Amino acid sequence: MLGVLGGMGPAAGAWFAYRLALLTGVTSDQEHLPVLLVNDPRIPDRSEAALSGGTSPLPAMQERLRFLESSGCECAVIPCNTAHHWFSELQASVKIPLIHIVPAAIAGLRARGIGAGPIGLLGTRATVRSDLYRGELAAAGFTVLPYTQDDVERLCVRPIQAVKQNRVAEAAAALAEAIHTLKGRGAHAVILGCTELPVAFAALAAEDLDLPVVDSIDALAVSALGHFGLVVNRSAAAGSGEPAR
């Protein structure tokens, strides 16, 4: 059984479980991976804690991971990029392996045939300003396009806030604008490095996109399926790192 520490936000945790089901190559219910999802919004805000020293979400996240472990999960994922700032402390709190979202996203770039070059990263303020993605992307031969303060607010924060407030159409329009801007600046691909963004991405028409987009939530689901030796349903693999759309 796969444990999912969700609720950050609630739509993202549930969307991960939904995408995992669609991305699994099966012909009947019984072949799917059993999943236990704790979709708990009571976890303190991750961005606030990472940037300005608000209440730490770590104890609440560790407690729920231990619950997943004691309930029989053999492996766990956290469909929230910002939460990965505490990854080593989270992994230290349980014996079961946690799958890290950044290598999953890099595997997604490679599966789309993108091996190096400038990449656009969209995520929360904490994610795009920190070393969470930069270090691993640099080690893998990629560079992250630089942002001004205004870029962060306009390209990243706007679509994320709209998803969090359930304004999905507005989020999709803001995300389309961000992808076009990053393409104009030379990005070879865009990583959706916030688990709210796939909700907006799903509302975008395929024909609006002319740049490979790696959705970190789909990439994490593909990595989890690989961990359990399950086959990916290629027709459902959109921005997941699978070539078919």
Q: Which residues make up the interface to a copy of itself (CB under 8 A)?
A: 1, 7-11, 13-15, 17-18, 20-22, 24-42, 45, 67, 71, 164-168, 233, 235-236
Tokens of 173: 């329009």
Judged by CB, which is closer to a copy of itself: 181, or 233?
Answer: 233
What interhelical angle do 216-227 and 10-23 show, nearest 10?
50
Judged by CB, which is closer to a copy of itself: 14, or 99?
Answer: 14
Q: How far is the CB of 166 from a copy of itself (least distance, A)?
A: 5
Single-letter residue type at 93: S
Phi, psi dihedral angles at 25 (to 5 degrees): -80, 100
Q: How far is the CB of 161 from a copy of itself (least distance, A)?
A: 10
What interhelical angle do 216-227 and 101-111 show, nearest 10?
100
Q: How far is the CB of 120 from a copy of itself (least distance, A)?
A: 25
Judged by CB, which is closer to a copy of itself: 41, or 117?
Answer: 41
Judged by CB, which is closer to a copy of itself: 35, or 211?
Answer: 35
Could you identify the residue written with the tokens 């997941």? 240
Q: How far is the CB of 213 from a copy of itself (least distance, A)?
A: 19
Cα torsion through 65, 68, 72, 75, rounded to 10: -60
Nearest to 186 by CA among 120, 138, 109: 120
Q: How far is the CB of 24 from a copy of itself (least distance, A)?
A: 8
* Cβ neighbours, 10 Å, residue 203: 16
Could you identify the residue written with the tokens 């969470």? 132
Judged by CB, which is closer to a copy of itself: 45, or 177?
Answer: 45
Strand partners of residue 189: 119
Judged by CB, which is closer to a copy of itself: 15, or 147?
Answer: 15
Phi, psi dihedral angles at 192 (to 5 degrees): -85, 90
Q: How far is the CB of 56 from a copy of itself (least distance, A)?
A: 15
